[in-house]
Structure 1
Amino acid sequence: MNNKKSSCRAITTMFLTAILIIQAILILYPIAFTVSASFIKDNSLSAVGTVPFSRPFSLVQYHRLFTETNYGHWYLNTLKVACMNTIISVFVCSFTGYIFSRFWFPFKKTVMASMLVLQMFPSFIGMIAIYVILWKLNALNTLWGLVLVYSAGSIPFNSWLMKGYFDTVSKDIAEAAYIDGATPFTAFVRVVIPTARPEIIFLALTSFTGPWMDYIFPRLILRSDEKKTLAVGLFELINGRSNDNFTMFAAGALLVAVPFIILFVKGQKSLLMSLAGTGGKE
């Protein structure tokens, strides 16, 4: 009987191990293929080969990327948009979420319900209205116009996100600060915000990564080459029949992942704490 159980357990372990190996291959092979493609001399993907890293190592595509295109400028533009969106979203949504969580005011439930309903509609439904508004504001082909679109569009969902987290934080923390003479603003900044640090870091990460590789709105708003973001610039490298820059595209795509790796390594602990819901319960 014990031998039969041991055999079943061994078969189950082997089956699960095989599934995990297959999943790892399916996930890692495209990454390895892209990395390999960025380090070959030829432009066509047909030169990469089925087996990654089977071709001679070369940095030609990275040299072409920075000398034949405005990749560095695209990268800087995207970094500016992502950082500004992060700052605005964290500042506005933290205050908005705290106000909805702690204070009462007329039409509070109506405003919250309206924000939730607006979030249900896809963003591209309002593209024409957004284009007209930016045109009236002289914000077309500007980075600040793109930041305005991203930050305004993220307010409903992120405000609900922060409200849900602040609802789990004990009110006794702020009330203790009130007893010591702190104003509501001081208590929020010095007491509540440090308590909500994991959720704020999560909000900052999502606000940074959201616009990083978005294509639709930058393509709609931006026109000149010096204003392009990474998504628009990289897509134009392979767009059209005459463009054969797939390996240079792979090099650019690989560099795109660098900020993501740094941010998620640095904020991994806070991200896990946020997902686990570590706010103080009442």
Structure 2
Amino acid sequence: MSNVKRKFDLLVGYLLLIIISIFCLYPIVWIVLSSFRTGTSLYSARVIPTQFTIAHYVTLFEKFPFATWYGNTLKIAILSMIFSTIFTLITAYIFSKFRFVGRNATMHGMLILGLFPGFMSMIAIYILLSQLNLLNTHMAIILTTVAGAPLGFLFSKNFFDTLPSSVMEAARIDGAGHVTIFARIVLPLARPLIVYTSLLSFAGAFTDFIFAQLVLRTPDKQTLAVGLYNMINDRFGNAFTVFAAGSVLIAVPITLLFIFMQRHLIEGLTAGADK
């Protein structure tokens, strides 16, 4: 009887996964197919277009500065990913392995600040950037993203808490300094954490819209999210299939990055298990 119940539970689980997958994949398939559909409307009685075209992808680069938007977004996302990962890991390592006056109060303060939505501080940040003459610059977005990244240190700190302190103490006895221990011992052990933090930072900066819309004004400075939004937000904008083509191209680097990093994530986890 228990065997029958186990098979029934397994069947129900698979059915739920199939239903969830359909709900998740259907919008993606619709957008991808719409990018190859003729006309300008996303609505169609058929999911699969009767006629395919790549004209919308060509229009992206001929009628709109899509290549410029793409380059701006990649620059912001890559630089934000690098520095956000570095500052987040350093912050988490300090709180995990060091004891100093005001440590708990600082951690609690950062955790509380991290609970507030980022858009609550946008007016203050906008005024500060205006005084620093950084409006309509990519540096404004990069600095703001990197400055706020350490507020999410808790996940990284919990990971560093699991690392054995005996290894670091042995290295310290051999004469290794804090920088050497962090760079040559801690970071190789924390490869899965580095992959996770980097991927999260890249995706967040790559898809950011609200703050980029607030800061960036001219088309040559805009990112993909802002450019595509303005494309269809215009009073006479009806390039919805072109918008779908742009959405497909936006998903390409994030998908490739996740696939590439997933392999390193699995390798890092298994290497840590072997050790």
TM over 0.5: yes
How many Å separate the matches in 1 of 2:143 and 2:92? 19
Summarize the Cα distance change of 1:10–1:103 in structure 2 as closer, same or farther, 3 Å threshold.
Answer: closer
* Alignment-derived partner of residue 31 in structure 2: 34
Task: Classify 1:108/1:5 alpha carbon distance in 2 versus 1 (closer, same or farther; 3 Å).
Answer: closer
Aligned residues: 274
**1:101 and 2:101 matched:** no
Residues 1:223 and 2:217 aligned together? yes
Q: Does 1:192 align with 2:189?
A: no
Residues 1:197 and 1:21: Cα distance change in structure 2 (over 3 Å):
closer
Return closer, same or farther for 1:152/1:10 CA change in 2, 3 Å cut-off.
Answer: closer
Letter in 1 for 2:233: N
The structural deviation recorded for 1:242 is 1.2
Q: 1:279 to 1:142 in 2, by over 3 A?
A: farther
Does residue 147 (structure 1) correspond to residue 146 (structure 2)? The answer is no
Listed one character per residue, the Cα deviations across residues 85-125 of structure 1 (whole Å, up to 9, x for unaligned) are: 11111111211211111112221111111101111111111
Task: Indicate the residue corresponding to 2:197 in structure 1.
Answer: 203
Task: Say whether 1:69 aligns with 2:64.
Answer: yes
Structure 2's unaligned 5+ residue stretches are: none
| Distance in structure 2 (CA, Å) of the matches to 1:233 and 1:18 | 40
Unaligned runs of 5+ in 1: none
Q: Is the 8 A contact 2:95 2:103 kept in 1?
A: yes
Q: How does 1:1-282 map to 2 (within 5 A)?
A: 17-46=14-43, 49-157=44-152, 159-271=153-265
In 2: Cα distance, 1:141 partner to 1:150 partner: 15
Q: Pairwise CA RMSD of aligned residues?
A: 2.6
1:118-168 deviations in Å (ceiling 9; x for gaps): 1111111111100011011111000010111111112111x2222221111
Which secondary structure does the structure 1 equivalent of 2:147 belong to? helix
Q: How many angstroms apart in 1 are the aligned matches of 2:10 and 2:102?
A: 57
